[in-house]
Amino acid sequence: MEARELSRLRELEAENAKLKAMYAELSLDNRVLKEALEKKW
């Protein structure tokens, strides 16, 4: 691999890690909201 390709690969891996973290947080938020809505008041 060329240096340029390795640099791009690292950028994509970093972006992927950020997106995975965002998904995990939103998934947790979604689960909490669903549980809150299912509770009877």
Note the pLDDT tens digit of each residue in 12-22.
Answer: 999 999 999 99
3-state secondary structure string across the chain? CCHHHHHHHHHHHHHHHHHHHHHHHHHHHHHHHHHHHHCCC
Q: What is the pTM of this model?
A: 0.74
10 contacts: CB under 8 Å, gap ≥ 6: none
Share of the chain above pLDDT 70, in %: 95
